[in-house]
Amino acid sequence: MKSFAGACAILAAVATAPAAVAADYATTKTYAATVVEPAPFYRGFSGRLPACGDSGVIGRITSAFAARERGYWGSDLALEAVGHPREIGYRSWGASFVPRRFCAAETLTTDRRPRRVFYEIIEGDGFAGIGWGVNWCVTGLDRHRAFAPGCKMVRP
């Protein structure tokens, strides 16, 4: 009796199901292309970075340089004056890369030697990816050649 009830249930389900529809490959539908306007910023980056001569940027470079010299090299060398900052590139690698502003400035170290400092201001390089950060290199003082040759890796 159970098999009869099961068979009736299957038959009822099949009888009430909608009829199968065969695919019609003879006709084709055309769809209009939708034009999508580009976003005002690419991948979440706005491209708004401080200027090369911004006091916050110069302050970060001078304090980080002094801390690195004192803590790592045991030296009292510091950047005494930073002048003539100028932009040498902005988003030089294209819009699909993280926005960077490349800069150069003249500096005088406490040993009274004039040097050049190259730096890049990078969007999203602050703490936890918020804000901006700075990579910098002082010519003649890249002792481990992290940005070698001649601080080239911090330039566009």
Q: Quick check: pTM over 0.85?
A: no
pLDDT tens-place string over residues 81-110: 999 999 999 888 877 788 899 999 999 999
Reported confidence tier of residue 39, pLDDT bands at 50, 70, 90: very low
At 12, give phi and psi (nearest 5°): -65, -40
First to last CA, the chain: 84
Calpha distance 135→118 (Å, rounded): 8
Angle of CA points 97, 102, 104, to nearest 5°: 170
Answer yes or no: is pLDDT of 145 > 70.
yes
Residues 83 and 79: their CA atoms lie apart, in Å, by 11
Give the residue extent of every domain in the chain.
55-154
Indicate if the pLDDT at residue 42 is higher than 60: no
> For 25-34, what is each residue's pLDDT tens digit?
566 555 555 5
Q: Which of 11-15, 61-65, 126-130 has the lowest mean pLDDT?
A: 11-15
- The torsion angles phi and psi of 109, rounded to 5 degrees, stand at -90, 165
Tokens found for residue 71: 């803590």
Who wins on pLDDT, 104 or 38? 104
DSSP state of 53: T
Residue bearing tokens 């330039």: 155
Average pLDDT over the chain, rounded to an integer = 81
